């Protein structure tokens, strides 16, 4: 059987002599050039095992280097949809417009150029325009947009003749005030003078002579404005047209259901209760417009049943 032993060469020993005659080289020179066959085989095996792993590493690194640029180059940038661009432009435009309007409004509200410098008053009969203007001196110098009707009405509360007021701004500096006054419906005797009152019993002024004020006298005294009789009489007088009211001399009531009026010519108006007062006022107005007949004198106008009024 053939031998399986591997030949080894040990450095520093003499090699076998050649078969034919030749010179043998010195052992020192040969020792540096001889390589062990066993070590060479082991090194080759180690290099063979390490080669695939190194190749895999280098291959993976190469793929990693080329993968990123390739993925970036494969991204496709699509254009933004048109409706999104339009919507964005519209939103920005609206924001700019709102900002501009806000600045303009703020400038108008706080601008001293729109400050109130003059106050014009209309609708006054019991009061003078100067009295209303004096009551509103606090709004002078204030910008027109900042003046409110509530503020004006609060300032006019001390003037009992004013029921309400509305305002109108007239740029750059004029404030127009429309006054709605309370309407006096009767006179109340108070000492030596007469007090004008409205339907709510609010005292609106005084008069020295009853003949100077075309209003009927309620013979109940100035302290009777909260009684049921006064409220019933005042409600009747408040319903009458101004020209009919001016023809009344006195108003009285035995009870809230028995109101009577006296005309300046001495004739009597039987009114009754406060029901259907608008219809009764129209019936009385029609009776007073009827031409007088000397042959049939009239002393009483009865409108207590307004659908069937009569005279006697």
pLDDT of residue 72 exceeding 90: no
CA 177 to chain centre: 25
pLDDT of residue 232 exceeding 50: yes
The reported pLDDT for the residue numbered 17 is 45
pLDDT of residue 198 exceeding 90: yes
86 pLDDT band (50/70/90 cuts)? confident
Mean pLDDT across 228-249: 93
**Residue 293 has which token pair?**
């007949």
- 22 vs 81, more confident: 81
| CB contact at 8 A, 300 and 311 | yes
The reported pLDDT for the residue numbered 282 is 96
Mean pLDDT across 130-156: 95
Mean pLDDT across 121-144: 95
Closest CA to 302 of 263, 265, 260, 266: 260
- Give percent of the chain above pLDDT 90: 50
Mean pLDDT across 103-120: 74
81 pLDDT band (50/70/90 cuts)? confident
- 158 vs 110, more confident: 158
Residue ranges of E strands in the chain: 118-122, 162-170, 174-181, 186-190, 193-197, 203-207, 217-218, 248-253, 259-263, 268-272, 300-302, 310-311
114 pLDDT band (50/70/90 cuts)? confident
Q: Mean pLDDT lowest for which of 17-26, 251-260, 303-312?
A: 17-26
Spatial distance between the Cα atoms of 135 and 146, rounded to a whole number of angstroms: 18
Q: Mean pLDDT lowest for which of 10-14, 52-56, 235-239?
A: 10-14
| CB contact at 8 A, 268 and 309 | no
Mean pLDDT across 57-78: 55
The reported pLDDT for the residue numbered 305 is 95
The reported pLDDT for the residue numbered 31 is 44
pLDDT of residue 199 exceeding 60: yes
Reduce the DSSP state of residue 125 to 3 states and report it: coil
pLDDT of residue 222 exceeding 60: no
Mean pLDDT across 178-198: 93
The reported pLDDT for the residue numbered 27 is 46
Q: Mean pLDDT lowest for which of 13-27, 49-63, 210-224, 273-287?
A: 13-27
Interval 244-258: pLDDT, tens: 999 999 999 989 899
68-96 CB burial, b ≥16 within 10 A, e <16? eeeeeeeeeeeeeeeeeeeeeeeeeeeee
- 211 vs 185, more confident: 185
Mean pLDDT across 59-73: 51
Give the highest mean pLDDT range of 25-29, 56-60, 83-87, 204-208.
204-208
The reported pLDDT for the residue numbered 28 is 44
Across the chain, what does the average pLDDT equal? 80
- 254 vs 3, more confident: 254
| Angle between helix 228-239 and 277-288 (nearest 10) | 60
């Amino acid at each position: 059987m053939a031998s399986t032993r591997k030949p080894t060469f040990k450095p520093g020993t003499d090699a076998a002599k050649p078969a034919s005659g030749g010179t043998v080289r010195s052992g020192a020179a040969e020792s540096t050039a001889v390589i062990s066959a066993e070590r060479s085989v082991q090194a080759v095996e180690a290099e063979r095992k390490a080669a695939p792993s190194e190749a895999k590493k280098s291959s993976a690194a190469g793929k990693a280097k080329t993968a990123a640029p390739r993925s970036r180059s494969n991204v496709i940038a699509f254009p933004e949809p048109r409706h999104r661009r339009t919507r964005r432009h519209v939103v920005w435009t609206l924001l700019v417009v709102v900002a501009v309007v806000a600045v303009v409004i703020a400038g108008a509200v706080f601008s001293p150029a729109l400050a109130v410098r003059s106050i014009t008053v209309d609708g006054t009969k019991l009061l003078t325009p100067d009295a209303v203007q004096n009551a509103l001196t606090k709004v002078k110098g204030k910008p027109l947009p900042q003046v409110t009707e509530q503020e004006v009405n609060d300032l006019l509360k001390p003037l009992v003749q004013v029921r309400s007021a509305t305002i109108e701004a007239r740029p750059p500096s004029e404030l127009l005030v429309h006054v709605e006054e309370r309407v006096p419906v009767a006179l109340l005797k108070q000492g030596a003078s007469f007090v004008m009152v409205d339907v709510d019993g609010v005292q609106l002024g005084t008069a020295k002579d009853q003949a100077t004020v075309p209003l009927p006298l309620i013979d109940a005294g100035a302290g009777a404005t909260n009684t049921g009789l006064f409220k019933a009489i005042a409600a009747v007088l408040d319903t009458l047209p101004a020209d009919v009211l001016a023809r009344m001399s006195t108003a009285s009531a035995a009870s809230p259901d028995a109101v009577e009026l006296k005309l300046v010519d001495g004739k009597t108006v039987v009114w009754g209760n406060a029901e259907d007062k608008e219809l009764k006022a129209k019936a009385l107005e029609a009776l007073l417009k009827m031409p007088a007949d000397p042959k049939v004198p009239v002393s009483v106008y009865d409108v207590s049943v307004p659908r069937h009024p009569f005279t006697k």
